Amino acid sequence: MFVFPRLPQCFHVPYSALTMFLSTNQKERDSATAYRMTMEVLGTLVGAAIQGQIVASAHTLKHCLNHSVSADHPMNTSVVEMGDQIIKSPASSVDFLSHMKDLYMIAAGVIGGTFLLCTVVMFLGVKERDDPYAPETEKSIPFQKGFVLVMRHGPYIILTASFLFISVAIQLVQSNFVLFCTYAVDLRDHFQNIVLTILLSAVVSIPLWQWFLERFGKKTAAFCGITWIIPFIIMLVLIPNLTVAYIVAVSSGLSVAASLLLPWSMLPDVVDDFRLANPFSKGHEAIFYSLYVFFTKFAAGISLGVSTLCLQFAGYSPRACQQHPPVVHTLKLLIGVAPVAFIATGVVILLMYPITEEVRIKNKFSLDQLRLTLYCKRIVL
């Protein structure tokens, strides 16, 4: 369990950093990033659909359907009291647990096989280009020195801090959405379709955000895309209705797409800005990307820890048919108020991000000049 969560990062960090080695052209890198994120979200959609269909029967609370219970009298996880009669939950039976284990083994085999196939395709199909800006004789900077240089680079700190708060907000919604649908708005039979709707909306809207950032700039696109979700998550909390839930799902997909696309599209611009500030360094790309992946995982850890502690203090009981009112109120806070606060903080930090479209174009011109100068020196030598 300790090793497994870290193994995907051994793939994800170099896979993400490959963007810098596909092309020196900023527009081509942005297009590659948009294509990559579209395929990632599409893969998440397909994976969620496949796994959801396989393990769906392991998460139906059929023992709750015929016994209406108010939130003031929550049921126990393993038993349901009806007068003198006690109805046992099938979730506690050995056969049910064995069935659940078999379903998850099948889902793991399907997803694992698909992951391996895609990795082989990437390894055989992608050609890596070396850093075109540094001299051929330049050695890679040591990790310790590179780490210090990267952490002193202002635009990177601002971008990372901004999307750290935004990622915490998105992770809070993601990690508590199932519980929210199950216990707070009574949509337990629809949450899987709602999640698929969010992912489908995100897949469709990524090309829209790519067009938007090319026309209006990445900083503007990030601001509009991230803040778009705020009124809709408030609406979902205040109006617990199935129709509203699907409207919120479609609208939230736009912000999910922006939160996935924009940071990875802005990160290469930060690396270019760092290159101009440190023209004779080499091998720093992996440091930028690995630290950013670390902060995204750190955000996931923060959201999970906050959610677990809040629900524990509220008295959450796993797989209960109903929860105490404090649990319902806590879920509404974790879905509504907390994400809005984190998003607002992240957006305020993002306003200080210094790489505007004018700066990005200026950096592009300066890097082209640097590349031309180094190329001419190599020819002369």
If phi over 0 gives left and psi between -120 and 50 gives alpha, with beta otherwise, what is residue 104? alpha
Q: Which domains does the chain have, with CATH numbers?
A: 142-380 (1.20.1250.20)
Report DSSP letters for 40-86, one per residue: HHHHHHHHHHHHHHHHGGGS--HHHHT----TTSPPPSSEEEETTEE
Q: Which two tokens stand for residue 275?
A: 């290159």
pLDDT (tens digit, 9 = 90+) per residue, 282-302?
777 778 888 888 888 888 888
What is the reported pTM?
0.80
- The residues that bridge with 88 in the sheet, in sequence order, are 79
Distance (Å, whole) CA 149 – CA 131: 18
Distance (Å, whole) CA 126 – CA 255: 30
Residue closest to 298 by CA, chosen among 143, 165, 178, 154: 165
- For 151, phi then psi, to 5°, come to -75, -10
Q: Are 150 and 270 in contact (CB under 8 A)?
A: no
Distance (Å, whole) CA 244 – CA 194: 11
Distance (Å, whole) CA 282 – CA 120: 28
Q: Per-residue pLDDT for the chain (381 aa), expressed as one digit of tens each?
A: 556 666 776 777 777 777 777 777 777 888 888 888 888 888 877 777 777 777 665 555 554 654 443 344 444 444 444 443 333 444 456 776 777 788 888 888 888 888 888 888 888 888 777 655 555 555 567 778 888 888 899 999 999 999 999 999 998 988 888 888 888 888 877 888 888 898 899 989 999 999 999 889 899 999 999 999 999 889 988 888 888 889 989 998 999 899 888 998 899 899 889 988 887 777 777 788 888 888 888 888 888 888 999 999 988 888 677 888 899 999 999 998 999 999 999 999 999 999 988 998 898 888 878 777 766 766 766
pLDDT (tens digit, 9 = 90+) per residue, 68-110?
433 444 444 444 444 433 334 444 567 767 777 888 888 888 8
Residue closest to 258 by CA, chosen among 195, 207, 191: 207
SS3 of residue 87 by DSSP: strand
342-to-303, 338, 348 alpha-carbon distances in Å: 11, 6, 10
Q: Which two tokens stand for residue 176?
A: 């508590």
SS3 of residue 351 by DSSP: coil
SS3 of residue 88 by DSSP: strand
